[in-house]
A and B are shown apart, each in its own frame.
Chain A
Amino acid sequence: MSAVTDTPPPAYRRARRRWAAPALFLLPAALLFVAFLAIPICYALYLSFRGMRMAGGGPFGVRQETWVGLDNYAAVFTDPELLAGLGRLAIYGAIAVPLTLGLALTFALLLDLPRVRGARFSRTAIFIPYAVPGVVATLLWGFLYLPSTSPAGWILERVGLGGIDVLHGPMIFPSVANIAIWGGVGFNMIILYTSLRGIPVDVYEAARLDGASEWDIAYRIKIPLVAPALTLTGLFALIGTLQVYGEPTTLRPMTSAISQTWVPLMLIYRDAFTRDNLSLAAASSVVLALGTLVVSVILLRVTQKRSFGES
C-alpha cells in the first residue's frame, strides 16, 4: 500500500525533469533562432508595411515614416525591373537546375556501375568544385570566358576566326548557369551516389540475372529508389537558384550584360543600400522568401505524392 502511494511523486518529478532537460538542450538554438530568424522575419514584415510620406504638404512638408499598408507590395508587383529580374532568374534556373541534377544523377549512376575504371579519381575530381567558393569559381570561369584570356579564344584567334563572346548577349545566361552547375554537380552527385550505395545489392541482382540491361536497372529500379534523394537535391538546387547573388555580382566587372538589378536579390540590395528604400527592399525580400517557400512546398507535395504514392 505504501509502495503505491510512494510512486506518484517521483514519476511526476521525472516527468518535469524530462521537460526541463530538452528545454535546456534546445535553449541555445531557440535563442539564436529567435534572434536571427524570427525577429528579422518580423522586422522585414513590419518594414514592408512602412514607408516615407510627406507630412504637412506643400514645399515645406517633411518626409516621415508612417504606415503605408500594401503600397510597397503594390510597388513590388508592378516594378518592371523586378519582373524582368524574375524573368532572367527563370531563364537562368531553367538552364541551371535540370542540368545540375541531370549531370549529378548521370555521374552517380555511372559511378554505381560495375567495372568502371578510375571511378575514385573521377568521383573526387567532380566533387572538388564544391570546395571552391562561388566568388572564386566566378573569377576562374570569368577569365576562361574573357576572349583575351580564354583558351578557346586563343585557339580561335590563331586559326583566324574571331573569338566567340560568351559574356554578352543571350550567351550570358548559359555562362552564369555554367558556373552554378560546375559548383553544384559534385555535391549533388555524392548525395545521390551515397543513396544509391544504400540500396541492397540483391534488389537488382535478381533483375541482372534475368538479363535486364544496366540501363533498365537504372531506369526502373535505381532511379525510383533514389527519388527521395532526388527530391531533396532538387529542392536545394531550387532554393539556391532563387537566391543567386554572388556569381552575377562577381561577373559584373567583366561584362556589361549584367545590370545592377540582374536578379531579384541584386535589385533588393540596390534598393536597400544604394537607394536607401528599405521598405521596398523589405517587401521584395518578403515576396521572394514567400515565393521560395511556396515553390518548395509545392515541389515536396508533388514529388512525395509521386515517389511515395507508388510504393
Chain B
Amino acid sequence: MSTVTTPRPVGTRRLVGERPGPASRRGAVLPTVVLFLGALYCLVPVAWVLVASTKSSSELFSTFTFLPGTGLLENLRDLFAYGDGQYVQWALNSVLFAGVGAVACTVVSTMAGYALAKYDFPGRQVAFYAILGGVLLPGITLAIPQYLLMSKVGLAGTYWSVLLPCLISPFGIFLARVYAMSAVPTETMEAARIDGANDARVFVSVALPMMVPGMVTIFLLQFVGIWNNFLLPFIMLSDERMYPLTVGLYTLLSKGSGTPSLYTLAIIGSAVAIIPLVAMMLVLQRYWRLDLISGGLKG
C-alpha cells in the first residue's frame, strides 16, 4: 500500500526494485499454496468417484471413503450388464448428440458469423441484435415450447428433437463473428476476388483456413454444452434407450434411492462417464482460444 502512495527517494526505489530475487520467490509461496488448495478442491470429488467406483455396495457405506475397495471388476460388469447394456447405449447417444450437434453447429455458426463480419447488407444490424438477444435469452426456458412444437410435428421423442435445437447457438455465431473480424483480412478477400474467385470460393479457400482456431473453440464449447445438457433431453425423450448419459445417470440415481446396489452403479457410471471427457479436455486444452470470449465484448 504505502509503496505507491508515499513518495520515496529514488535511491530507495531502486533498492526495492533490485530486491525481488529472493523476496518475491518467498512471496510466491502464498499464491502457490492458494492455487494448490483450489486444485485440491477441484480434484477431490473426481478422486472420490474414482476410488468409490472400486468399492462393492457393502464396502461403499462401511469402509473409509478414500480407501479403495475390491469390487471394481464386478461393478464394471454390473454397469455394462444393466438393462441389457443400456449404459453403452447412453454413452453412444451422448457421443451422437454432442459430436454431430457440435460439428453441424460449428459449420452453421461459422458461415453466419463470417457473413455478419465480412459483408455489408441491409438487415445486418437487425440480424446482429437478434443474435445478441438470443445470447442473453436463457435457452432452457424455451425447452417446453420447443417440446410442444416438436410433438405437434411428430418429432418429440426422436433423436431429432434433441439434435435440432442444439444446432443453433447464438453465442457460437457471436464468437464466429468476432473471430472472422479479427482473423480474416478484407484485403486478402479482395485479392482473391480480383483473381476471379466467387464468394463461395473466397469463403472455402481463403476464410475457412484462417478461421480454424475459432471453429475449434466453438466446437469444443458446443460439444461440452450438449454433452452436459440435461433438461432438453429430459423433456424431449421418453424411451430410456435414447437417453444421453446425463439423463440415464439421473434415472439410475432416482431409482437408487430405495436400492443401494443402484448407488454403486450410479457411481461407477459417473466415473466411466467423466474419464473420456476429461481426457479430451486435457488433450485439446491448448487448441482452445478462450481469449475469444473475453475479447468478444469489445467487438
Contact = CB atoms under 8 A, between A and B. Distances in A.
Contacts of B231: 245-246, 265, 269
Contacts of B76: none
Interface in B142-177: 142, 144-146, 148-149, 164-165, 167-168, 170, 173
Nearest to A140: B45
A136 B35 contact: no
A185 B38 CA distance: 10
Contacts of B296: 232
A214 B27 CA distance: 10
Contacts of A243: 138-141
B121 to A, nearest CB: 5
Nearest to A110: B31
Interface of A: 17-19, 21-23, 25-26, 28-30, 32-33, 35-37, 39-41, 43-44, 47, 103, 106-107, 110-111, 113-119, 121-137, 139-144, 148-151, 154, 182, 185-186, 190-192, 194-195, 197-198, 208-216, 220, 226, 228-229, 231-232, 235, 239, 242-243, 245-246, 249-250, 252-254, 265, 268-269, 272-273, 278, 281-282, 285, 288-289, 292-293, 296-297
Contacts of A30: 112, 127
A5 B116 CA distance: 33
A181 to B, nearest CB: 9
Counting chain B residues whose Cβ lies within 8 A of the other chain, the interface size class is 35 or more
A182 B42 contact: yes
A44 B65 CA distance: 47
A288 to B, nearest CB: 5
Contact of B42 (A144, A185, A197): A185
11 contacts: A115-B27, A126-B42, A128-B282, A154-B64, A194-B290, A198-B291, A213-B1, A232-B297, A268-B144, A269-B235, A285-B141
Contact of B38 (A39, A126, A246): A126
B43 interface: yes
Contacts of B149: 39-40, 43
Contacts of B34: 106-107, 110
Interface of B: 1, 3-4, 8, 13, 16-17, 24-25, 27-28, 31-32, 34-36, 38-46, 48-49, 52, 60-61, 64-66, 107-109, 111-112, 114-116, 119-122, 124, 127, 130-131, 133-134, 136-142, 144-146, 148-149, 164-165, 167-168, 170, 173, 199-200, 203, 224, 227-228, 230-231, 235, 245-247, 249-250, 253-254, 256-257, 263, 266-267, 270, 273-274, 277-278, 280-282, 285, 288, 290-291, 293-298
Given A211-B17, A232-B296, A245 B140 contact: yes
Contact of A107 (B38, B109, B119, B120): B38
A245 B230 contact: yes
Contacts of A28: 107-108, 111-112
Contacts of B66: 151
B31 A29 contact: no
* Interface SS of A by simple majority: helix
Contacts of A41: 137, 142, 145
A135 B250 contact: yes
B294 A151 contact: no
A149 B8 contact: no
Given A116-B31, A135-B246, A198 B294 contact: yes
B108 A32 contact: yes
A40 B168 CA distance: 13
